[in-house]
């Protein structure tokens, strides 16, 4: 946290930058107000890097365009219906929005857009006091009508108006509270937290697409489990992602197993750590984080209390993958994300057979083939899934996975493992067997693929002999 003096110095430097200064001069010359607002001002106090430049003004969208066109390298108006015009000025992307005074009508899933005329009124309708800060330009005057600076210092999230009013206007702000708590490490003020619990059913008014986007932003923070915990404790997760609170299974005094809910949050934390430390994937990786959070959601449906105090969850991987597909479709995730997440959940237990006995090279090849382009993500998820407090067991699993990755790398180098396929393609199979296209070609191809997985590269001549032997065994030569 920067001191107020340091934050004002940072804001003064930002205001003097070519992008901000150019816009400030242009709007003043045209007779309009302009203020830097929200995240850039907040982040100046937090000492965080400023990535996006957001402005607000009393100019209408048409008037914003007229001011911006002469000074921008490019501009667009896809947010025009909501009062927002985007542009690139001196190489930086900016968004400029007309003062807003809109609210939900209590039943619609989208707000009715109403433009305002006052900066202070615009700030009061924003989500949290720490985001309801503005720097008037070109005067460089800090505007803070709701005590946002004090809340930044206290590291508290609070709504500018009564939380019941704010969340009633836009229930998605309750999910934003969880996201900002995770992103900034702030506590939610008790009255605001109580309102989240009381108004949790109101989240049903929000479209699946907006819920999806907010959940994705939360999961892509550095402390995603903190935000998920807030959603669960407030009852919001029960409305938008019910499979996660369902992980809080009742503990039978005679049957013992690890807390699946706490385990899942730990896996999420560890997956984020592995994702960052391995540095192979673009971080944050939403697929990894969704898979980590949801990997055990099949356990409640598959729990069985066994004799002797044991608890089993047979086939929870397959059941969980099915549940994940259903939930992610309901949240309108794209097909590629749904496919990747569900595949990782299907495969997340596969490795644990590796420690029961040494895998053959054939088993390693199948592991790689089944993971496909999700192999690196599967590495991360599998490692993150080890949450035992037994250090010897954790070390044994870690060393075993080190060994598996080394074997994958060695075989990949020797055999181009990432592109495992038979030495003969479909056209060659038809020519050798003298057959036309049809299901038999696929059967022959799969047979040769199994040979390839079992034995590694054998060369086209040996593959031809194996194909003819298979054909003869069918009695159709």
What is the CATH classification number for the domain harbouring 196?
1.10.110.30
- Same domain? For 260 and 375 the reply is yes
Alpha helices in 125-281 (DSSP H): 148-154, 163-169, 172-184, 190-198, 208-219, 224-234, 237-240, 260-278
- Same domain? For 411 and 320 the reply is yes
CA separation for the pair 14, 140 (Å, rounded):
10
* 94 in Cβ contact with 84 (< 8 Å): no
- Same domain? For 337 and 394 the reply is yes
What three-state secondary structure class fits 232? helix
Q: What is the pLDDT of residue 255?
A: 41
| Domain final position from 194, 211, 241 | 241
- Same domain? For 212 and 306 the reply is no
- Same domain? For 231 and 264 the reply is no
Per the structure block, which two tokens stand in for 434? 């003298």
Q: What is the pLDDT of residue 206?
A: 95
Q: What is the pLDDT of residue 253?
A: 44
- Same domain? For 227 and 269 the reply is no
- Same domain? For 391 and 434 the reply is no
Tally of domains in the chain? 4
In this prediction, residue 417 has a pLDDT band, given cuts at 50, 70 and 90, of: low
CA separation for the pair 263, 297 (Å, rounded):
11
In this prediction, residue 315 has a pLDDT band, given cuts at 50, 70 and 90, of: confident
- Render the burial of 335-373: b for 16+ CB within 10 Å, e for the rest: eebbebbbbbbbbbbbbeebbeeebebebbbbbbbebee
What is the CATH classification number for the domain harbouring 26?
3.30.460.10
- Domain housing 448: 426-473
- Same domain? For 413 and 265 the reply is yes
Among residues of the chain, what percentage have pLDDT more than 90? Answer: 58
Among residues of the chain, what percentage have pLDDT more than 70? Answer: 91
- Render the burial of 438-467: b for 16+ CB within 10 Å, e for the rest: eebbeebbebbeebbbeeeebeeeebbebb
What is the CATH classification number for the domain harbouring 290?
1.10.3210
Where is average pLDDT lowest: 36-50, 52-66, 348-362, 421-435? 348-362
Task: Categorise residue 81: left if φ over 0, alpha if ψ from -120 to 50, beta otherwise.
Answer: alpha
- Same domain? For 261 and 374 the reply is yes
- Same domain? For 268 and 307 the reply is yes
Q: What is the mean pLDDT of residues 137-151?
A: 95
- Same domain? For 366 and 304 the reply is yes
Q: What is the pLDDT of residue 423?
A: 81
| Domain final position from 151, 181, 207 | 151
pLDDT in tens, 196-206: 999 999 999 99
Where is average pLDDT lowest: 76-80, 312-316, 451-455? 451-455
- Same domain? For 200 and 281 the reply is no
HSE-CB at 196 with a 13 A cutoff on CA atoms is: 26
CA separation for the pair 234, 135 (Å, rounded):
34
**Does 444 have pLDDT greater than 80?**
yes
Q: What is the pLDDT of residue 409?
A: 82
Q: What is the mean pLDDT of residues 416-420?
A: 57
| Domain final position from 373, 400, 419 | 419
């Amino acid at each position: 946290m920067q001191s107020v003096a340091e934050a004002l110095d940072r804001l003064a430097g930002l205001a003097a930058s070519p992008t901000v200064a150019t816009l400030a001069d242009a709007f003043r010359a045209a007779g309009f107000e302009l203020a830097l607002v929200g995240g850039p001002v907040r982040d100046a106090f937090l000492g965080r890097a400023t990535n996006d430049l957001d402005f607000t003004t009393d100019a209408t969208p048409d008037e914003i365009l007229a001011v911006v066109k002469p000074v921008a390298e490019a501009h667009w108006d896809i947010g025009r219906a909501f009062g927002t015009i985007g542009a690139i000025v001196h190489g930086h992307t900016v968004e400029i929005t007309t003062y807003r005074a809109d609210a939900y009508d209590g039943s619609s899933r989208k707000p009715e857009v109403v433009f305002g005329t006052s900066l202070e009124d615009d700030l009061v309708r924003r989500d949290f006091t720490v985001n309801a800060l503005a720097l008037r330009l070109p005067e460089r005057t800090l505007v803070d009508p709701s005590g946002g600076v004090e809340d930044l210092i206290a590291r508290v999230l609070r709504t500018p108006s009564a939380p019941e009013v704010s969340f009633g206007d836009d229930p998605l702000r309750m999910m934003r509270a969880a996201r900002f708590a995770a992103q900034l490490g702030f506590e939610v003020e008790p009255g605001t937290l109580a309102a989240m619990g009381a108004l949790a059913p109101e989240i049903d008014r929000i479209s699946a697409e907006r819920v999806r986007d907010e959940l994705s932003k939360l999961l892509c923070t550095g402390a995603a489990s903190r935000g998920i915990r807030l959603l669960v404790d407030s009852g919001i997760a029960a409305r938008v992602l019910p499979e996660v609170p369902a992980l809080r299974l009742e503990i039978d005094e005679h049957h013992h197993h690890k807390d699946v809910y706490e385990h899942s949050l730990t896996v999420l934390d560890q997956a984020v750590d592995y994702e960052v430390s391995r540095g192979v994937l673009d971080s944050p990786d939403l697929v990894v984080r969704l898979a980590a959070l949801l990997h055990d959601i099949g356990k409640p449906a598959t729990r069985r209390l066994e004799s002797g105090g044991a608890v089993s969850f047979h086939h929870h991987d397959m059941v969980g993958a099915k549940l994940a597909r259903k939930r992610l479709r309901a949240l309108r995730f794209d097909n590629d994300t749904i496919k990747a997440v569900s595949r990782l959940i299907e495969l997340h237990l596969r490795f644990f057979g590796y420690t029961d006995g040494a895998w053959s090279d054939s088993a390693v090849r199948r592991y790689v083939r089944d993971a496909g382009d999700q192999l690196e993500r599967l590495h991360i998820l599998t490692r993150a899934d080890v949450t035992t407090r037994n250090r010897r067991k954790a070390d044994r699993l870690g060393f075993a996975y080190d060994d598996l990755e080394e074997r994958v790398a060695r075989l990949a180098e020797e055999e181009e493992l990432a592109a495992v396929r038979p030495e003969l393609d479909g056209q060659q199979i038809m020519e050798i067997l003298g057959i036309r296209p049809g299901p038999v070609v696929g059967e022959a191809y799969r047979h040769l693929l199994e040979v390839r997985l079992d034995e590694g590269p054998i060369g086209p001549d040996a593959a031809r002999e194996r194909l003819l032997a298979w054909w003869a065994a069918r009695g159709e030569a």
